[in-house]
């Protein structure tokens, strides 16, 4: 087990290096003078030449990469001249909020998708199953931002049950949990849409397969109630591969967070990413891409480890 | 990266009566796709409506009369914009899906066919791309190459080939062991001939099914990018930017502008997903 985790961590290093190369290539695809773009439109020539010198932009590309990578390994993600702050502090300020949003969406999605999928499989090919499948297909085919706007129009504007957006009510000066949670509900519901459809379809398919297995029929024949068979026997087996699916959904959740945070003016990483993309704050984009990739890789590793924990048949070699 | 794929159960897809050859839901999906294509490409000529002609005197006209779906804030005919926008969104979806499948098929086929260290390196590269959220890549690329409809197609296509390449690779890994490959080789066929004449055609089922789903997700990508302000740029209409601007038109109480583009996206994406789902089930 320990060896497996260690091996996977070591294997993650080339992938992460690959991500840095990829993002660095993307950076150099940028048209125009990079130092000028980084400094902003109103920068003086002296500032531009200072940035050029600091980043080694007057040197060959591989040296620039080495300089950047060297800083990266020391935890220095660069400096955002646009925002006059280090990229690390910009991310640090927002990453918790985005992870909280993603976590809530993940939880919400599981709480809806798993029971729905289980019940659909149990009542397979009935009217309920067909209707639920139709709803899931619609959810799957809906633009995220449209769904978010409908939620705002309905629950925030018409019914006034929820705030329209933001992180917390402005006049509260300090950290305010109830207000933060109230501001989290609609964004989490919107982001949950990203994964909901795929997961409930997956659970349904997986449960249908498990219910046809001999062990499920045996349990039923012994006289166990249907609920016990569903939740104690088949669901456990159906959930095992689902863990891998959870790990694989993390990138999509980060992507969905960009749109969700934009709809709800939620100041998280997604919003920062969008802002940096529009004003070409490349170092912030690079830093966020690297940090996100690190989280994605760790998430997948965690999923693989958990997979082995819940399924003793899996062996780590 | 993920080793558990072998134990994944087959996705059952939409529940349906099994005896029918073309099930009604997939047939409805195909019917809608054909209808939408015909309407978007032919109707603007037949109805003599212009998507770009502004008429400020008749801004925010309600549906009915000369403008079946009303007009927008500049007095442009909403029906015309919806149809021309459909051309843009549908062609972005279809072309991006074809680009993605072309890259994905080539990449996956070569990787799976040659195997060994070549395969490992190519798949590590896919892992690298998969570690970066697709929308991040899209934003990055769209910010770098802002502009035309063509670049948007290429950008979306270029970020969508990873999934297909893995699927095709998986198919090719089993297909290359078949006897007909051995037969072709013993009659002197070269690698390229075997890959593109024998292996890839047999993976065509997977490729076509995936392309159908890809069209749906590429259309959704267009709407997402348009919402974020880096998709199709006004005045060129697309379903994505029509829906986006309809949301701000709500402040002018122009509620009739929000449903047509929203429903057009929803139904068309659903239609492609239905057809894709049926194709996938037919294969198994």
The answer for residues whose C-beta is within 8 angstroms of residue B164's C-beta and 6 or more apart is B100, B101, B104, B105, B108, B207, B210, B214
Out of 1.10.10.60, 3.40.50.1010, 1.10.645.10, 1.10.3720.10, the CATH code matching B24-43+71-283 is 1.10.3720.10
Residues of chain A with Cβ-Cβ distance to B274 below 8 Å are: 137
pLDDT of residue B11: 53
Chain A residues with beta carbon closer than 8 angstroms to that of B15: 124-125, 129-130, 133
Report the C-alpha gap between B191 and B184 in whole angstroms: 10
Helix or strand or coil: residue A108?
Answer: helix
Scanning A68-107 for CB atoms below 8 A from B yields: none
| Residue A316: predicted pLDDT | 60
**Alpha-carbon gap, residue B15 to A41, rounded angstroms:** 57
| pLDDT in the model for residue A159 | 81
CA-wise closest residue to B273 among A141, A136, A117, A131: A141
What's the CA gap between A305 and A315, in Å, rounded? 11
Query: Using omega within 30 degrees of 0 as the cis cutoff, is the peptide bond preceding B235 cis?
Result: yes
Residue A85, phi then psi, degrees to nearest 5: -155, 155
Cβ contact, residue pair A240, B7, below 8 Å: yes
Q: How far apart are CA A277 and CA A262, in angstroms?
A: 13
Say if residues A149 and A259 touch (Cβ distance below 8 Å): no
Q: For B143, which residue in chain A has the nearest alpha carbon?
A: A277
Query: How high is the pLDDT of residue B1?
Result: 41
C-alpha to C-alpha distances, A82 to A37, A54, A79, B204, nearest whole angstrom: 9, 16, 9, 49
| Overall average pLDDT of the B117-129 stretch | 91
The angle subtended at Cα B119 by Cα A299 and Cα B125, nearest 5°, is 45
Between A and B, how many residue pairs show a Cβ–Cβ distance under 8 A?
Answer: 158
Q: Which residues between 56 and 75 in chain A have a beta carbon less than 8 angstroms from any beta carbon of chain B? A: none
pLDDT score of B5: 44
Q: How far is B277 from B212, CA to CA, in rounded Å? A: 9
Cα(A257)–Cα(B224) distance, rounded to whole angstroms? 12
Distance CA B61, CA A110 (A): 45
Q: How far is B181 from chain A (nearest CA, A)?
A: 33
Tell which residue, B55, B175, B188, has the closest CA to residue B113.
Answer: B175
Q: Taking the CB of residue A245, how many other CB atoms lie within 10 A of it?
A: 19
Nearest to A289 among B136, B240, B274 (CB): B136
Global ipTM = 0.84
Question: Considering only CB atoms, which chain A residues are within 8 Å of B127?
Answer: 15, 18
pLDDT score for B258: 79
Residue A128's alpha-carbon distances to A111, A119, A123, A205, B140, in angstroms, are 19, 9, 7, 15, 43
Residues of B in contact with A247 (CB under 8 A): 2
**Per-residue model confidence (pLDDT) at position B232:** 81
A236 to A97, A137, A195, A204: CA distances (angstroms): 32, 25, 20, 13
Burial string for B159-181 (b: 16+ CB within 10 Å, else e) reads bbbbbbbbbbbbbbeebbeeeeb
**Residue the block writes with tokens 């770009």:** B52
Q: Where are the domains of chain B?
A: 24-43+71-283
Q: Cβ contact (<8 Å) for B12 and A252?
A: no
CB of A122 less than 8 A from some CB of B: no
Quote the pLDDT of residue B272: 93
Q: Which two tokens stand for residue A254?
A: 């980060």
**Considering just the CA atoms, what is the radius of gyration of chain A in Å?**
24
pLDDT of residue A32: 66
Q: Do A206 and B9 make contact, defined as CB atoms within 8 angstroms?
A: yes
- The answer to whether the beta carbons of residues A205 and B9 sit under 8 Å apart is yes
- Among A225-239, B94-108, B164-178, whose mean pLDDT is lowest? A225-239
**What are the mean pLDDT values of chain A's consecutive 10-residue runs (317 residues total)?**
80 87 80 70 75 75 82 81 82 89 93 91 88 88 88 80 72 67 86 88 87 85 83 83 84 90 88 86 85 90 81 67
Closest alpha carbon within chain B to A148: B247
Q: Do B2 and A248 touch (CB under 8 A)?
A: yes
Query: What does the pLDDT read at residue B8?
Result: 46
User: For residue A301, what are the contacts with CB-CB under 8 A and spacing of at least 6?
Assistant: A5, A8, A9, A12
Whether chain B has a CB inside 8 Å of the CB on A261: the answer is: no
Minimum distance, in Å, between the CA of residue B254 and any CA atom of chain A: 14
Contact, A313 vs A236, CB < 8 A?
A: no
A248 touches chain B (CB under 8 A): yes
Chain A residues touching B247 at Cβ < 8 A: 149
HEC letters along chain B: CCCCHHHCCCCCCCCCCCCCCCCHHHHHHHHHHHHHHHHHHHHHHHHCCCCCCCCHHHCCCCCECCECCCECCCCCEHHHHHHHHHHHHHHHHHHHHHHHHHHHHHHHHHHHHHCHHHHHHHHHHHHHHHHCCHHHHHHHHHHHCCCCHHHHHHHHHHHCCHHHHHHHHHHHHHHCCCHHHHHHHHCCCCHHHHHHHHHHHHCHHHHHHHHHHHHHHHHHHHHHHHHCCCCCCCCCCCHHHHHHHHHHHHHHCCHHHCHHHHHHHHHHHHHHHHHHHHHHHHHC
Using CA atoms, how far residue A134 sits from A124, A128, A156, B30, B270, in Å, is 14, 10, 27, 17, 10
């Amino acid at each position: 087990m320990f060896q497996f985790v260690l091996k996977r961590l070591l294997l993650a290093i080339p992938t992460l290096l690959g991500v840095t190369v990829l993002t660095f290539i993307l950076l150099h695809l940028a048209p125009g003078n990079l130092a000028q773009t980084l400094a902003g439109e109103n920068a003086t020539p002296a500032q531009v030449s200072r940035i050029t010198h600091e980043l080694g932009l007057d040197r060959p590309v591989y040296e620039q990469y080495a300089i950047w990578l060297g800083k990266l390994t020391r935890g220095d993600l660069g400096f955002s001249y646009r925002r006059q702050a280090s990229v690390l502090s910009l991310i640090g300020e927002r990453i918790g909020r985005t992870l909280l949003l993603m976590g809530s969406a993940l939880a919400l999605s599981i709480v809806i998708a798993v029971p729905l999928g289980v019940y659909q499989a149990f009542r397979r090919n009935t009217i309920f199953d067909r209707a639920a499948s139709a709803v899931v297909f619609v959810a799957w085919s809906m633009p995220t931002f449209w769904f978010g706007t409908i939620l705002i129009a309905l629950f925030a504007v018409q019914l006034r049950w929820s705030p329209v957006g933001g992180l917390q009510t402005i006049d509260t000066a300090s950290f305010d949990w109830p207000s933060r949670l109230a501001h989290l509900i609609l964004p989490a519901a919107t982001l949950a849409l990203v994964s909901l459809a795929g997961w409930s379809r997956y659970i349904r398919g997986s449960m249908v397969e498990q219910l046809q297995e001999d062990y499920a029929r045996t349990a039923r024949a012994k006289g166990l109630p249907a609920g016990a068979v569903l939740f104690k026997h088949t669901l456990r087996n159906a959930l095992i591969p689902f863990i891998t699916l959870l790990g694989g959904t993390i990138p999509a959740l980060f992507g969905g967070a960009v749109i969700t945070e934009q709809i709800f003016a939620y100041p998280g990483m997604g919003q920062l990413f969008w802002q940096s993309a529009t004003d070409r704050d490349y170092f912030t984009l690079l830093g966020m891409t690297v940090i996100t990739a690190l989280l994605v890789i760790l998430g997948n590793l965690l999923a693989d480890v958990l997979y082995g924990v819940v399924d003793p048949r899996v062996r780590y070699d | 990266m993920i080793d558990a794929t072998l134990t994944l159960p087959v996705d059952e897809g939409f529940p349906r009566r099994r005896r029918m050859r073309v099930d009604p839901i997939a047939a409805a999906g195909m019917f809608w796709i054909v209808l939408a294509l015909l309407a978007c490409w032919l109707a603007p000529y037949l109805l003599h409506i212009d998507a770009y002609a502004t008429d400020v005197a008749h801004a925010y006209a309600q549906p009915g009369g000369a403008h079946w779906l009303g007009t927008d804030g500049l007095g442009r005919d909403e029906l015309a914009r919806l149809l021309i926008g459909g051309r843009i969104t549908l062609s972005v979806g279809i072309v991006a899906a074809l680009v993605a499948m072309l890259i994905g098929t080539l990449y996956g086929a070569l990787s799976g066919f040659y195997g060994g260290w070549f395969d490992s390196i190519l798949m590590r590269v896919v892992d690298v791309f998969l570690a970066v959220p697709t929308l991040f890549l899209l934003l990055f690329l769209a910010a770098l190459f802002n502009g035309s409809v063509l670049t948007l197609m290429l950008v979306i296509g270029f970020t969508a080939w990873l999934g297909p390449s893995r699927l095709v690779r998986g198919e090719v890994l089993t297909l290359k062991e078949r006897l007909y490959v051995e037969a072709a080789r013993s009659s002197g066929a070269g690698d390229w001939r075997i890959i593109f004449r024998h292996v890839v055609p047999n993976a065509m089922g997977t490729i076509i099914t995936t392309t159908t789903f890809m069209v749906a997700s590429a259309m959704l990508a267009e709407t997402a990018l348009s919402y974020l302000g880096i998709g199709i740029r006004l005045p060129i209409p697309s379903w994505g930017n029509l829906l986006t601007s309809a949301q701000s038109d709500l402040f002018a109480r122009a509620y009739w502008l929000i449903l047509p583009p929203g429903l057009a996206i929803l139904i068309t994406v659903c239609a492609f997903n239905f057809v894709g789902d049926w194709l996938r089930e037919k294969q198994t």
